[in-house]
Every structure is written in C-alpha cells, then in structure tokens.
Amino acid sequence: MDFTLSVEEAMLKESIDCFMLDYASRRPASLAAPHGRDPTIWRSVIELGWLPAGFSEDVGGFGLGAVAEILIHEGIGRGLMVEPVLAATLAARVIALAAPEGRCAALLAPLFSGDRLIILAHDEPEARGDVQLVEAHAVRDSQGFRLSGRKAMIDSAPGADQLLISARIDGADLALFLVEASHLAGRMRVCRTIDGRAAAEIDLDGAVFSASALLAVGPQVANAINVAHDHAIVAAAADALGAMESALAITAEYLKTRHQFGVPISSFQALQHKLADMVVAIEQARSIILCGVAALSSGDSAERARGVSAAKVLVMTSARLVGAHAVQLHGGIGVTEEHLISHYFRRLTAFAIRFGGADYHLSRFVTSQDGL
Amino acid sequence: MQFEYSAEDTAFRDEIREFIAAELPDHIRRRFRRGWRWTRPEMVFWTKKLHARGWSAPNWPVEYGGTGWSPLRKHIFEIETWVAGAPPTHNQNFDLVGPIVYGFGTDALKRQILPPMLSGDTFWAQGFSEPGAGSDLASLRTRAVRDGDHYVVDGQKIWTTDAEICDGIFTLVRTDWSGKPQAGISFLLIDRALPGITIRPIEMLNGECHLNEVFFDSVRVPVASLVGEENKGWGYTKTLLAHERTASARIPELRRDLALLKAHATESGLIERAGFRNRLAQVEIDIIALEFTVLRVLTDHHDAPAMRAASVLKIRGSELLQALSELMIEELGPYAEITYPVPTDWSEPWLADLPGPDWASGVMGGFLHRRAATIYGGSNEIQRNLIARAELGR
C-alpha cells in the first residue's frame, strides 16, 4: 500500500500539467471547432500518448495502467478540455477486451495514432447507468443484419470516423458492430452538451449492416462493455476532481479580490466555511477515486462494481456541492456565460448526469458483494 | 502507486488478529462492542497483556520501548483492536504525553515517566481546556509561578478526560504574561497525589462521568516535571498534533460500528428496506473515502502536506461518528429510548431486568456522547477556519 506516484507516473503528470497550462488559451478554439475537436489540440493529445497510456503493451498501449488514466483525466478536467479523450478511450477498451485477437491491434493502431476516431454507441434512453440494459436488436437477413432501437446521447459520435454499436442478435447474445459513421449520418440527431461536448442520439430503426460489420458476439461483449464503463466512470470522476480543484482555486482567488463593505469578501466567515466545505468534499473525492482505481485492478467483478459505484456516488455528491458553492461565492458573475466558473459548474453538473445517477450506483454498491 | 497490502502487512494483521482472539476475555469484548467506554481495571489488564507482547506503545520508537511499527502497521493494529472489541491503547499516554516526553523531556524525566506507562501502571490525563479557554486555547490562565525548585500552580482545568482515574495530569500552564499568549505557555506534568488538587467529575448527558473539572490550589510541582523549556509548551503540542493527525478520523471505531450496525440491521430485517439500506450505504461510502484519505496521509509523503489533512480528517471523522449513531438508534427502534445504567464493571446485573436486546445498552449512550465529537479536539467550526485560512493563504 503506497500512494506515492512512481517515477513514470510523476513524469506523466508533469507533462500533463505542462500541456494543460497551455490549453486554457486554446480552449475557445476547441469549443468553436466542428464537433468540439480542434485538429491541432487533438494531434497533441495523440503525440502525448494519452489514448494508449493506460493500455497494456500487448495491444499497443504504454502499460501505465489505470493510475495513468486518472492523472490524464484529472488534468483534462482541470482545464475543461472538450476533445473526446474519454469517449475514444472507452471505445478502445471495449475493442481491447472484446475484439477477436487477430483484429484487435489492427483496430487500435489507427485509433491510438489519431488516424481514425472510433466511438462506442452503447447507452440507451432507459438504461440510466445500467449497461446491461440493451434493447437494440439485430436480426439476420439476406443482406446481413437489420437493426432496430435507439442509442441515447452518444458522447462524441458526431465527428467519429467509425461507430461501434451494441445490439442483441435475434434478441439474445450481445454483439458489437463496427460501421462507418457516414453510413449512419442521416440517423443522428446532433447536439451539444452543457459542457461543450458534441453528442448524438442515433436512431437504428431499419438500419442495415453488412454481415462483415459484426465484430464480436457472445458473453465477452457484455463483460467488455461492463469493464470499459467502469474504467470510464473512474476516469470521468478524475475529470470532475480536476474541475473541482480548479473551481476551488478560482473561487479562493475571487474571494480575495472582490471587495464589499470596504473589505475583501474572504474576510467573512460564512463564505470561508463554504470554501472549507469545498475543500473537504474535494479531498474525499480524491480519496474515493483511489478506491475506484484499486477496484479496477481487482480480479473480482463484484468488488470492482462496488468500488467504482462508491466512487461515482461520492464524487457526484462532491461535484454538486463544489459546483454550487463555487457559483454562490461568485455572486451574480457566477451565473454568466462570460465567467469561467459557470463552465466548471456545467462540467460538474454533466458528470453527475453521465453514467447513471446516485440511486442506480447506491443500489449497485449495495448489491455487489462486500469486498472490503 | 501500489494498492495492495504487502504479504508482510497481511501476515502482520493475522498475527494481531490471532493474539486478540487468544488473549481478550469475552466480558471485555462484549462491553466494548456495546459501545461502552473502558474502566481502569480493563485498561490495566489489556495494557499489561500488550506489554507482555511488546506492543503496548504501537507508535513509539523502539528505543523507548515502543514497537517501531510503520504508521500503516499502527493503522492496521488499531483497526484489528477496535473491530475485535479490545480496549484501544490509552490515547493520552501513548499518543499525547509519551511522545512529548521522549521528544522534548530530559533523560531523567524519560526514565521516570515512560516505563510505568508502558507496563500499564500509570495513566495520564490531558489538562489543556479551561472554562475560559476552549476553542481559544492559547488564552488559558492556569498559572505556574517559580518558587525555588518548584512551580506553584493555581487555576482550573475543565473537560479533563479520565482525571478521576488517572495518576497524573499533563498540563499547559501560563508561565509568562508579557508577549503573545502562545509564547508564555509551558508543558508541565503534575502528579495527581500532590496536595491542593481537587477533581470533580462532570456527569454527562449519557450518564457517564469520565470528564472532570480539576482545581489547582497552590499546588507545588517540582521544576523537574517541566517538559523541555519554559514557555515553549505551545510549540511542542503543535508539533505533536502534526504527527498524530490521522487519529481524529476515527476509522477503527467507524469500522467497528459499521460492522455491528450491518449485523444488527440484517438480523432485524431493516436492511431490506431500501430507504434505510441506501442511507447506510451512503455512510459506508463516506467511511471508505475517509479511510482512503487516512491511507493517503500514511503512505504518500508528497500528497499529505497539500491536503490540509488534520482538519479534513477531524471534520469527516466526527460527522461520520454522528451519522452512524443516528442510523444505530434508528435501527434499535423503541428500545433506543431507554435509560440504561452506565456499567461500572462487566457483570451488568441489571440487563436482565430491562427490555431491549442485550447489545442495546450502549447505543443511545454513544449517540448522545457523540454530539461532543464535533466540539472537542478543536470544534469543526475552528477546523473550517483553519482550512479556509490555508486555502486563502492568510
């Protein structure tokens, strides 16, 4: 048991911090770019190796594990990067865990090198965090497969080159289909999230996929989707942690510079105590994320579910408190588009919504076997 | 980062577990798991058991008779102790006065004070707070005036835990009035047997009487009982608190109560109700996060200074003790209303005459007493002031 960063982890963190410092001035360009992906920034992300960092060497990764991913996403959250690192990593992990051995490297190489963006289209409107819930169907016919169903709010689907779509074949086994995004262009209703990411609702009713689009089918697909989502939840929690840290720093600075009644408002104890509660919430969030990382490395799936859902529940509670206090302590300027604190608030709000709410994750925590 | 306990640490945990299982009598285990505080005979018994094994001072260096364990091993030891229902090592002796004596005292003082603590023959009580000096401790007024080879001590302490059963009181006393309040405070050990000391127990809202008022009326204390230098006591105490900052998280106690609450709620069926079950899960998640915060402090030297650890741990530890107790009395239901006598020994003869399950007697007592958890040790409001001050760089 030792939470000190290893030499490699510390070096990675330094390079992340360095890049994200620079990102602040470039973020407006990312927000304005088509689908929230600025080509120059994305090229840098690729060169920094943020996509393969956490993957094992045998699939073309750097072997730095889940710790690398939380460091990366904490940095991303600190600077509110909008580029689809989380979504790309989620798709990559599903491929790494579910694709046939022979195709895995060939699919991941162009994803890691930035040549092709693959996005997982799995979530459905009724799931609310339950990744087992898949109502999309694929029925075999002479042309290959005829699809039905709907995929909800797929993060970064607009701008993807390929989509990895989950559906049950003939109402039973879960399968993954890899299709060109252009094939589904007319079926996407594209939107922007409150924190600036591109997303899409995908209507699959009547879509036809060729037989060769089938990438994988069987129990390993459900397992891959489960595990990959647990990694993504912990990564998203780390993103929220980074955003909370920045929100705290910006708020503390604001309290010191804003004057009312002839004194800096930081001199008021009522405001100091709100700030202190933000600190407590952030430290607890940082700690439970370590619990989440520990759970990801567990071989036991119940223990993994338990630790990850604990992280989701606690970090979303912290994110709500920190976001709300940060806005409150800024006063009127806090609810404007112009002030960055409102962007942090929206990022933290989006985190609480994504990957299932407190109700789902509390239940999942309870029903997963006692691992501690 | 390394998330697993090493094989050596796991073997260490098993060794502690086996020791407690073999040595801890049932009557002590039963009383502790009901949530009652220890009595002096129990504390003497268990300290001597630990001493025989060389474990009575888990956090002291080997040269002073301690175990030399790493902070992580001490953490493991404490969890095993609490969860099994064994008395904790005496906090005032081993976490507070002992380290100050071996850190700043003379060799003569170390030889006089430390061995009888280790062997479970003397117990010390902390005399810091005064009627006019609670959160603002530095304003304390108990005075020690030098007269030849003695200090003459006059004044009053309050909330002195265990004074009624102690052998001596370690105090902060004022020896200088000229400069900043913090600069005129000395750390003085006062033998309880000295003439002029009056101890008056304070009956608490749960019927327990282990907090006291202590009056000093011209008590003549040998100068040799001064720890370190005159007027430097405040600094010694602050140094000490920086080393002991994870204790206030109360993880071992939280873990014990969480396990008991789950067992009782499973037995009563309350755990099947989604509302109760989810509130319990929420508290459990908060406890897990707090334990990971403790582990961060214990294992990551880069992280700890930046994390304002002591105040965060104190705030969450105390709040979670209260949250758990709220669930515990809810679980107990109607029997939580009963005033059970405070047991003064293990026999508990009255238990058979009162309604309620046999483990009910300490639950409400614990709930009531834990209102103090957010008050003592620097109130949670003071802790928030400290956090804000650090964050605002003032």
Distance CA B258, CA B283 (A): 9
Q: What is the mean pLDDT of residues A190-216?
A: 97
Phi, psi dihedral angles at A320 (to 5 degrees): -65, -45
C-alpha distances (whole Å) from A237 to each of A74, A173, A297, B217, B282 are 8, 31, 16, 59, 17
pLDDT confidence of residue B371:
97
Nearest CA-CA distance, residue A288 and chain B, Å: 5
Contact B1 A5 (CB under 8 A): yes
Contact B3 A290 (CB under 8 A): yes
Cβ-nearest to B388 among A272, A363, A365: A272
A313 vs B contacts (CB less than 8 Å): 281-282, 285
Q: What is the mean pLDDT of residues A200-214?
A: 97
A255 vs B contacts (CB less than 8 Å): 392
What is the tens place of the pLDDT at every residue in B136-179? Answer: 999 999 999 999 999 999 999 999 999 999 999 999 999 999 99
Using the Cβ of A263 and the Cβ atoms of chain B, whether some distance falls under 8 Å is answered with no
Ordered structural domains, chain B, with CATH: 7-89 (no CATH), 125-231 (2.40.110.10), 245-392 (1.20.140.10)
Looking at every residue in chain A, the average pLDDT score rounds to 96
Ordered structural domains, chain A, with CATH: 7-112 (1.10.540.10), 118-217 (2.40.110.10), 221-367 (1.20.140.10)
Give the strand order in the sheet containing A198-203. A150-155, A198-203, A188-192
What is the tens place of the pLDDT at every residue in B335-392? Answer: 999 998 887 777 777 777 889 888 888 899 999 999 999 999 889 999 999 999 999 9
pLDDT confidence of residue B309:
85
- What single string gives the DSSP state of each residue in A24-38? HHHHHHHHHSGGG--
Nearest CA-CA distance, residue A60 and chain B, Å: 22
The SS3 of residue A305 is: helix
**Residue B394 confidence class, pLDDT cut points 50, 70, 90:** low
What is the tens place of the pLDDT at every residue in A1-14? Answer: 899 999 999 999 99
pLDDT confidence of residue B243:
64
Q: What is the mean pLDDT of residues A348-369?
A: 94
pLDDT confidence of residue B341:
86
Compare all CA atoms of chain B with the CA of A265 and give the residue at the minimum distance.
B392
Cβ-nearest to A284 among B1, B300, B316: B316
Asked which of A105-119, A265-279, B315-329, B349-363 is least confident by mean pLDDT, the reply is B349-363
pLDDT confidence of residue A100:
96
Entry field: residues in chain B: 394
Distance CA A280, CA A290 (A): 16
What is the tens place of the pLDDT at every residue in B246-298? Answer: 889 999 999 999 999 999 999 999 999 999 999 999 999 999 999 999 999 98
Q: Which of B244, B284, B291, B330 is catalytic?
A: B244
**Residue B238 confidence class, pLDDT cut points 50, 70, 90:** confident
**Residue A277 confidence class, pLDDT cut points 50, 70, 90:** very high
- Amino acid type, B47: T
- The ipTM assigned to this model is 0.95
Compare all CA atoms of chain B with the CA of A363 and give the residue at the minimum distance.
B278
Cβ within 8 Å of residue B262, ≥6 positions away: B271, B280
Per-residue b or e along B244-257, where b marks 16 or more CB atoms closer than 10 Å to that residue's CB:
ebbbbbbbbbbbbb
H-helix or E-strand containing A301? helix A301-330
Whole-angstrom Cα Rg for chain A: 21
Q: Can you tell me which residue has the tokens 């430290």?
A: A283
Distance CA B314, CA A104 (A): 49
Nearest CA-CA distance, residue B308 and chain A, Å: 9
Known active-site residue B319: no
- Amino acid type, A248: L
| B306: pLDDT strictly greater than 70 | no
Count CB atoms within 10 A of the CB of residue B338.
Answer: 14
Distance CA A162, CA A33 (A): 19
Cβ within 8 Å of residue B103, ≥6 positions away: B236, B239, B240
Q: What is the mean pLDDT of residues A174-203?
A: 96
Cβ-nearest to B307 among A283, A294, A313: A283
Compare all CA atoms of chain B with the CA of A293 and give the residue at the minimum distance.
B3
pLDDT confidence of residue A372:
38
| B305: pLDDT strictly greater than 70 | no
C-alpha distances (whole Å) from B311 to each of A280, B249, B287 are 9, 9, 16
Cβ-nearest to B388 among A275, A293, A363: A275
Contact B292 A291 (CB under 8 A): yes
C-alpha distances (whole Å) from B192 to each of A8, A352, B164, B166, B273 are 57, 57, 10, 7, 53
CB B98 within 8 A of CB B126: no
C-alpha distances (whole Å) from A332 to each of A8, A213, A269, A339 are 43, 52, 20, 10
* Strands (DSSP E) found in A22-127: 118-121
C-alpha distances (whole Å) from A136 to each of A204, B108, B186 are 8, 80, 75
| B307: pLDDT strictly greater than 70 | no
Q: Kindly report the three-state secondary structure assignment for every residue of chain B.
A: CECCCCHHHHHHHHHHHHHHHHHCCHHHHHHHHCCCCCCHHHHHHHHHHHHHHCCCCCCCCHHHCCCCCCHHHHHHHHHHHHHHCCCCCCHHHHHHHHHHHHHHCCHHHHHHHHHHHHCCCCCEEEECCECCECCCHHHCCCEEEEECCEEEEEEEEECCCCHHHCCEEEEEEECCCCCCHHHHEEEEEEECCCCCEEEEEECCCCCCCCEEEEEEEEEEEEHHHEECCCCEHHHHHHHHHHHCCCHHHCHHHHHHHHHHHHHHHHHHCHHHCHHHHHHHHHHHHHHHHHHHHHHHHHHCCCCHHHHCHHHHHHHHHHHHHHHHHHHHHHHHHHHHHCCCCCCCCCCCHHHHHCCCCCCHHHHHHHHHHHHHHHCCCCCHHHHHHHHHHHHHCC
| A371: pLDDT strictly greater than 60 | no
Using the Cβ of A14 and the Cβ atoms of chain B, whether some distance falls under 8 Å is answered with no
CB B5 within 8 A of CB B52: no
Q: Which two tokens stand for residue B218?
A: 């011209």
pLDDT confidence of residue B242:
66
Contact B288 A288 (CB under 8 A): yes
pLDDT confidence of residue B36:
85
Compare all CA atoms of chain A with the CA of B387 and give the residue at the minimum distance.
A276
- What single string gives the DSSP state of each residue in A197-215? -EEEEEE-TT-EEEGGGEE
pLDDT confidence of residue A5:
93
Nearest CA-CA distance, residue B249 and chain A, Å: 12
The SS3 of residue A334 is: helix
What is the tens place of the pLDDT at every residue in B179-228? Answer: 999 999 999 999 999 999 999 999 999 998 999 999 999 999 999 999 99
